[in-house]
Structure 1
Amino acid sequence: MCFPRLFSGKSGGYFASIMVLLSFLVAAVNYFGLGDGPRHEVLWQWLPDMALRANLSVGFYLDQLSSLMTLIITGIGFLIHLYSVSYMSHDAKFGRFFAFLNFFVSMMLILVLADSYPLMFVGWEGVGTASFLLIGFWFAGRGEAKDAASFAAANTEGINNSNAARKAFIMNRIGDLGFMLGMFLLFKLFGTVSIPELMQNPILGAASAGQQVVLGGTLANGIELVCLFLLVGAIGKSGQLPLTTWLPDAMAGPTPVSALIHAATMVTAGVYLIARSHFLFDLAPHASTWVAWVGGLTALYGALSALNQSDIKKILAFSTVSQLGYMFMAVGLHAYSAGVFHLLTHAFFKALLFLAAGAVIHALHEEQDVRKMGGMHKFMPFTHIVSLMGVLAICGIPIWSGFFSKDAILAAAYTTNPALYVIGLGVALLTAFYMGRWYFLVWRGEYRGHVAHPHDADMLMKVPLGILAAGATLIGLLNIPAFLGGGHAFDNFLGRAIPVHAHEIAHSTELLLTVLAVLAGVAGLGWAYWEHKGRHLFNGPLGQTSAHALYLQELYDGLVGNPSRAVASGLDTVDRGVDSALSGVARNTSASGGLFTLWQNGFVRAYAVSMLLGTALIIGYWAVKTIGSGL
């Protein structure tokens, strides 16, 4: 972007990818060299002797949680970069795209490594800016306009893309306000916003260690309020109810952007914020309950909205909304390890599904309607196999990764809040249905596309897809539960940084819960097959409601959008009227002034004539007055 002549062709994409790969290698070295204790490095003082004598530094804090996040961001991010070299190769703004991708990754790294909430907020806002640039990347539409029709189509696409970018940016500002209020109140209560210092606070540290802490009314209420404010920030960034409508519209960006935002970076920031702030939420039972219920209801909303979508990427987008709801439900129940583990597995299978969808879109010349696909397994056998692995993972089918992470969340809900467990189990059924429908409509049946000979992805796209498919299949083995002969290795690893809060449950009960979850997944896939054969859902009331995402956007338009636009239109009319009236006064004034400008022309002879005429008028006036007084 800065040196377009230096990075011509695909070289800019390769350079950007190598930079992220090097970042991944650094993250891996730090991960293996971490040991049991965290590492905290202060680079410089940011605002010394300010903010009520509190020194605010720029520093990075690395423990098991932040180290895991750096591996996800750089590892998945590198694969998406590599895939994008091929996917975006014909785009006129190829170099700019990779500059934005690198900016996105760098801001996300600042977010997860920050040693204080203000520095985290810098990364938080940087990620929001990068998402605005990437979602609206095709702000002028795609391709060259060859005639009036293609020009109009490109213009409409560009407007929609720009609106989606602005929508994401504006809705996130609501959440950002909550983040700032929580940060300011946190400083008011404890006199610091440094994460290591807060962890070492006697009260907060005791709670994190699992000790019983008795708080005074003012402090207890203050911590509850801080956590509620932080929850608002997390809701905005992670697209949870009620600030969820921006996330499906973020599909306006190129498909690799969808994978990066939905899988490895931005939308998981809210989950990370709550897990990172566990020392606060452990002392805020009411706020934690809000987190869990927001997550549960969002998981249900996302699943219901995904049932009858027709856009290949929007099905996955609403799926992300739903899976993030699972993560929120887990961290709200203080099952932090389960939530973060699902974040990890989701990063693999959701990036895989988005990139596979991008390969299909690429092969069908930008077609995204699943009703115009079908039978793609004959043309794209490799992408078909890896897509099937992603579907099995998100549906929680053994031995794929989603089976392990989703079951851990359901087990935590069962022991803590049975109502949320029922919602979670129902969402598991719905997830298997809409992902089964996605699979059957795209890959099975008769081909309904308009491209004569679709082709499979090239090697630059296949390599990331293959690695992600392997991860989606095997990464769940990192946390095999005890009743299956495992040792909860991931829980033990993450427990060095944040409390795991493992819920005691009998092995027989856990086995029963696992069987129920697997049956829900299998039943959902069977339902999808039955619906695909008979097309029972498309025209029903449930189908229409799902296709409109439960009419949430229409509700917002009716309550907020349309009234706001009407007020703005009225003010614009008044402004134009006032401007017209003032313009009339200005024209009249300038017209009369124009007569004088003819005389005030800058020529000395004109001014001499003016003086002569003025003198003559004065003498004439004096003469007339003298003669009149003599008579």
Structure 2
Amino acid sequence: MYQIIVLLPLAGFLIAGLGGNMIGAKASEYVTSSFLVVAALLSWIGFLSFDAAEPMAPITLLHWMQSGDFDVSWALKIDRLTLVMLVVVNTVSALVHIYSMGYMHHDPHRPRFFAYLSLFTFAMLMLVTADNLIQMFFGWEGVGLASYLLIGFWYKKPSANAAAMKAFVVNRVGDFGFLLGIFGVFVLFGSVNLDTIFAGAADIAAQMGGEAGEAAAHGAASAGDVVLSFAGYSLTMGSALTVVCLLLFVGAMGKSAQIGLHTWLPDAMEGPTPVSALIHAATMVTAGVFMVARMSPIFELSHTALTFITFIGATTAFFAATIGLVQNDIKRVIAYSTCSQLGYMFVAIGVGAYSVAIFHLFTHAFFKALLFLCAGSVIHSVSDEQDMRRMGGLRKHIPVTYWTMVIGTLALTGFPFTAGYFSKDAVIEAAFVGHNAFAGYGWGLTVIAALLTSFYSWRLIFMTFHGKPRASADVMHHVHESPMVMLVPLFILSIGALFAGMMFEHSFVGEGYEHFWQAALYMGPDNHILHDLHEVAFGIAIIPTIMMALGFVIAYWLYIVNPAKPKQLSETHRGLYKFFLNKWYFDELYDFLFVRPAKALGRTLWKTGDGRIIDGLGPDGVSARVLDVTNRVVRLQTGYLYHYAFAMLIGVAALVTWMMIGGIS
């Protein structure tokens, strides 16, 4: 069954990609979408019927490569974490495929679009089912390639090409860190196979806990032994593990758009809206969270790395939320919301609450995909307009889209008993009871981010659907509800946004945690955070709900009661407004530090190094000198007889002179 789940998207990609022009756009849509629906249904069957108490052996597909001790097979690792990701990826992808049949109806290149969607899904499935780090890296790079193709799908738009290239380049920075981390893991554990790595990590953990004899029996290095020398520095096992964890996390920062490597995420909105839902809701951007959770046995051994993850996650949650406050593009508001929520997930991982992070990943997939697809329905209805300042008054014209988007907003902001209420509040409570140096910092910023999230989410609702229409009369005349093929995915995602948290809280983070997860996520013997977060006092636990309500009240007062006030505030606090509007000037800073120097260096190497030196002294210079000589020689060929006779006399005189001088000597 699991082989079918993984290979169906690949089959859809091959059929639509290679034979799309022959079978036509409709057939490409039906084939790829039906394959994904089957994969999603099988994923749910596997998820609900899986018995975590009886672990499955990896399913080997083929032997991949071998070089000395380096041995890699292509195998599927099936455990509870894998099944959660299969459900998330295939469910969202199937609904995006169906939705795209309506959204992309007028696009002439639909076979190529659906082929790219299926390729993306296959690469993501390769990532989440990987039994070793090399296979995971293959899927990791595969989703990077597919996202490049999807973001730049409308390649005739210069902005789409620039956004695709930016996403590709920024992700390569993180991927380089991930690759170095894989190298480090192989040096420390002698394998890239996950089970072997985790067994070695367990030995090291036992030795760190004083069980030296058991570790020595398995041949593990001592925590204080020098295991790695680099650039003249010697690293102990503990230090080496920290370096490896930080390198792996750099990869996660790039893929999951954490602060510093986040700049590609908002620009990726240049792709079609279904692409935004697929990439930014449940799949590519959550790959980093999944990878760190998968490698939890290693990260549990590095307190320093977890502390750093907490700091980066909390900073990202706050940073992205501040930018979302002032964005006017409906898709960019949701994109920065995604960036902020990914920060929440990393805060949970940083304090050791891995299951809480995956729980928020799971619920977030439903309501964030819902919000993106609702935004697409809005854009579809207003003649491809994305600026909320040119919307307003749409509630009566597209009521289904309005109410489903309200459901997604309630879940995102953490309205009681919706999906976000259970998972996001669990993240905040986990940060409150966390013990690392930045746990308090994480709690404070996630609470503030909860207030900001509520404000910008309701700001989006009020600017888009309420008030007087700000679009032209011609646009308002053509406003219409989306077709059913686009609305059905919204209904299904709405159910998940409302009930996913309530249905699965007990299993993910409640009393059923141990039976549900078994060995899929590792928590050290001193890690009691899941127990502690359920002991949080009511006064602390209710703070996120208060922030949610306060954000709604502020947004309602500014955009419904007193709609002229936001403009006044932006003019009064011009500096702060511009700072947030320009995204903390990260793009300008990177342009100054990296882009311009790189371009200047490239121009110098091109003009001076290649043009003047290599070509000037090489082939161009040689050919120029040859031409100079031949041009001078050509002048001797005048065609006059007396010139030739004169040249002959000079030659005879020179010959006689040489013979006379030679004879004297």
TM bucket (normalised to shorter chain) is 0.7 to 0.9
SS class of match (2:64): strand
Q: Does 1:62 align with 2:61?
A: no
The 5 A counterparts of 1:420-439 are 420-439=442-461
CA contact (8 A) 1:175 1:234 kept: yes
Q: Counterpart of 1:589?
A: 626
Quote the Cα distance in structure 2 between the aligned partners of 1:46 and 1:263.
32
Residues 307 and 543 of structure 1 are in contact (CA less than 8 Å); yes or no, is this contact kept in structure 2? no
Pick one of 321, 340, 352 that aligns with 1:322.
340
User: CA–CA distance in 2 between the matches of 1:351 and 1:27?
Assistant: 18
1:105, distance to aligned residue in structure 2 (A): 0.2
Shift of 1:26: 3.0
Letter in 2 for 1:472: A
> Structure 1 residue 529: deviation in Å?
1.3
Q: Which amino acid is the alignment partner of residue 596 of structure 2?
A: N
2-side partners of 1:322 and 1:493: how far apart?
28
**Which residue identity lines up with residue 101 of structure 1 in the other structure?**
L
Aligned pairs for 1:399-410 (under 5 A) are 399-410=417-428
Q: Kindly report which structure 2 residues correspond to 1:319-398, keeping only aligned pairs within 5 A, or say none.
A: 319-398=337-416
- C-alpha distance in structure 2 between counterparts of 1:22 and 1:101, whole Å: 15
State the shift of 1:399 in Å. 1.6
Q: Within 2, Cα distance between the matches of 1:118 and 1:291?
A: 23
Deviation at 1:198? 1.9
Maintained 8 Å contact 1:306/1:549: no
2:484: which partner in 1? 459
- Could you tell me whether the CA contact under 8 Å between 1:308 and 1:538 is conserved in 2? no
Contact 1:337 1:495 in 2 (8 A): no
The alpha carbon displacement at 1:34 in A equals 2.8
Matches within 5 A, 1:418-497: 418-450=440-472, 451=475, 452-480=477-505, 487-489=510-512, 492-497=515-520
Offset at 1:504? 3.2
Amino acid at match of 1:182: G
Cα distance in 2, alignment partners of residues 133 and 377 from structure 1: 35
Deviation at 1:354, TM superposition (A): 0.5
Distance 1:598 1:446, change over 3 A: same
TM-score (norm 2): 0.83
> Partners of 1:628 and 1:554 in 2: how far apart?
81
State the partner residue of 1:88: 104
Which residue of 201, 206, 216 maps to 2:223?
A: 216
Letter in 2 for 1:531: L
Q: Cα distance, 1:502 vs. partner? A: 3.7
1:561-580, Cα deviation, whole Å (9 max, x unpaired): 22333333344443555589
**What's the secondary structure of 1:376's corresponding residue?**
coil
Q: Is the 8 A contact 2:205 2:301 kept in 1?
A: no
The alignment covers a number of residue pairs equal to: 598
Q: How many angstroms apart in 1 are the aligned matches of 2:47 and 2:463? A: 41
Contact 1:268 1:324 in 2 (8 A): yes
CA contact 1:240–1:294 (8 Å) conserved in 2? yes
Q: Please tell me whether the aligned partners of residues 381 and 480 of structure 2 are also in contact (alpha carbons under 8 angstroms).
A: yes
TM-score norm. by structure 1 comes to 0.88
1:39 positional shift: 3.4
Unaligned residue ranges in structure 2 (runs of 5+): 1-16, 213-221, 225-235, 637-644
1:261-292 alpha-carbon deviations (Å, 9 max, x no partner): 10121110000010000000111110011111
Gaps spanning 5+ residues in structure 1: where? 141-157, 600-612
Q: What is the identity, as a one-letter code, of the residue corresponding to 2:191?
A: T
Specify the code of the residue in structure 2 equivalent to 1:112.
V
User: Which residue type is aligned with residue 590 of structure 1?
Assistant: L
Matched with 1:179 is: 178
Give me the whole-angstrom Cα distance separating, in 1, the residues matched to 2:657 and 2:535: 124
State, as a whole percentage, how many aligned pairs show the same letter: 39
- Partners of 1:513 and 1:628 lie apart in 2 by 116
3-state SS of 2:20 partner: coil
Q: Distance in 2 between matches of 1:244 and 1:164?
A: 13
8 Å CA contact 2:314, 2:441 repeated in 1:
no
Residue identity matched to 2:398? M
Contact 2:281/2:364, CA 8 A, preserved across alignment: yes
Deviation at 1:590, TM superposition (A): 3.4
Cα deviation for residue 447 of structure 1 reads: 1.0
Q: What is the aligned-residue RMSD (CA, Å)? A: 3.2
- Aligned partners of 2:210 and 2:150: how far apart in 1? 46
How much has 1:552 moved relative to structure 2?
1.5
1:556 counterpart letter in structure 2: Y
